[in-house]
């Protein structure tokens, strides 16, 4: 699986949009970009995933650059409950279904 | 939808005893389940992948005789830590996917403390 690079930590003011970047310059054509988050002492929570088109669901939006070498997860109106470690993972959906977790970005929402 | 549960949520045991952790997919059938381990201030590390009805595939460095995995049904996988020692103390997390290659959904985790 391609490796991802994320900033170790970020702060965001409550009520503002949180934009979390991820670089995956070695991504292959059949690899998806997945985002999970882990709130302290809990199991990871699935957020969103995409291949090349931008995606939106009730939790977040995922913007993938045209060359697919980077992406941004957007939490439109951050709340204190969004404080967590956010993991960006690239993975092919067929053949190798493993998720390889890096160190992620620790997002802190500031009141 | 896509809810995964684990039981127990935490367990304390004496060194040398065995501990069984259950992982259940509550609202979907999971062809594939995964077991991860997470030490304090570290990221999740995959231990093994199990497909319903077949033997688990263990990651390099994970002792299959120590960490017994059973995936006997499409909604239940179990991890048994045999002869547990203090170094096995960790946060054990399972995930489940309806089919191979589909999105994995994670359980809440089980915190194991071996005294």
Mean pLDDT of B74-88: 96
Residues of A within 8 A of B9 (CB-CB) are none
Inspect the interface and report whether the beta carbons of A46 and B106 lie closer than 8 Å. yes
**Listed residue (B97, B94, B81) closest to B7, CA to CA:** B94
Kindly report, residue by residue over B30-63, the tens digit of the pLDDT: 999 999 999 999 999 999 999 888 889 999 999 9
Cα–Cα distance between B77 and B75 in angstroms, integer?
7
Q: What's the N-to-C CA distance of chain B in angstroms? A: 37
- Return the pLDDT at A26: 93
- Return the pLDDT at A95: 63
Residues of A within 8 A of B102 (CB-CB) are 93, 97
- Chain centroid to Cα B103, Å, comes to 17
Collapsing DSSP states into helix, strand and coil, what is residue B88?
A: helix
Judge if the upstream peptide bond of residue B8 is cis by omega within 30 degrees of 0: yes
Burial A51-68 (b: 16+ CB within 10 A, else e): eeeebeeeebbbbbeeeb
Chain B residue with the nearest C-alpha to that of A30? B101
Residues of chain B contacting A, Cβ within 8 Å:
2, 4, 6, 32, 34, 36, 43-46, 49, 91, 93-95, 97, 100-109, 111
When CB atoms are compared, the residue of B103, B107, B108 closest to A49 is B103
Residues of B within 8 A of A57 (CB-CB) are none
Inspect the interface and report whether the beta carbons of A46 and B102 lie closer than 8 Å. no
When CB atoms are compared, the residue of B91, B100, B108 closest to A97 is B100
Name the more confident of B20 and A1: B20
pLDDT of residue B15 exceeding 90: yes
Chain A residue with the nearest C-alpha to that of B48? A98
Mean pLDDT of A30-37: 95
Kindly report, residue by residue over A57-111, the tens digit of the pLDDT: 999 999 999 999 999 999 999 999 999 999 999 998 776 678 999 999 999 999 9
Mean pLDDT of B97-110: 92
Cα–Cα distance between B78 and A34 in angstroms, integer?
26
Torsion from C-alpha of A59, A100, A89, B7, nearest 10 degrees: 0
Inspect the interface and report whether the beta carbons of A42 and B108 lie closer than 8 Å. yes
Q: How many degrees, rounded to 5, is the angle at CA A27 between CA A56 and CA A58?
A: 10
Collapsing DSSP states into helix, strand and coil, what is residue A6?
A: coil
**Token pair 């995409």: residue:** A50
Cα–Cα distance between A54 and A61 in angstroms, integer?
7
Residues of A within 8 A of B34 (CB-CB) are 98-99
- Share of residues in chain B with pLDDT > 70 (%): 99
Residues with Cβ within 8 Å of residue A58, at least 6 apart in sequence: none
Kindly report, residue by residue over A3-26, the tens digit of the pLDDT: 899 999 999 999 999 999 999 999
Strands A61-64 and A55-56, by their bridges, are antiparallel
């Amino acid at each position: 699986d391609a490796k991802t690079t994320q900033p170790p930590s970020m702060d965001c003011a409550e009520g503002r949009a949180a934009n979390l970047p991820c670089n995956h310059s070695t991504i292959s054509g059949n690899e998806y970009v997945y985002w999970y988050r882990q709130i302290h002492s809990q199991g990871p929570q699935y957020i969103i995933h995409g291949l090349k088109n931008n995606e939106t669901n009730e939790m977040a939006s995922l913007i993938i650059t045209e060359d697919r070498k980077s992406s941004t997860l957007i939490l439109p109106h951050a709340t204190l409950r969004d404080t967590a470690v956010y993991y960006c993972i690239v993975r092919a959906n067929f053949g190798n279904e493993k998720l390889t977790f890096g160190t992620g970005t620790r997002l802190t929402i500031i009141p | 939808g896509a809810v995964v549960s684990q039981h127990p949520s935490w367990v304390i045991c004496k060194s040398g005893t065995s501990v069984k952790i259950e992982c259940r997919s509550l609202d979907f059938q999971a062809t594939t389940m995964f077991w991860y381990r997470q030490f304090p201030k570290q990221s999740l590390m995959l231990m093994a992948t199990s497909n319903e009805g077949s033997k688990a595939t263990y990651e390099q460095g994970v002792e299959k005789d120590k960490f017994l995995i059973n995936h006997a049904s499409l909604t239940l996988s179990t991890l048994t830590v045999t002869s547990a020692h203090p170094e096995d103390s960790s946060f054990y997390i399972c995930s489940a996917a309806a089919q191979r290659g589909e999105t994995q959904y994670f359980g809440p985790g089980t915190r194991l403390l071996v005294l």
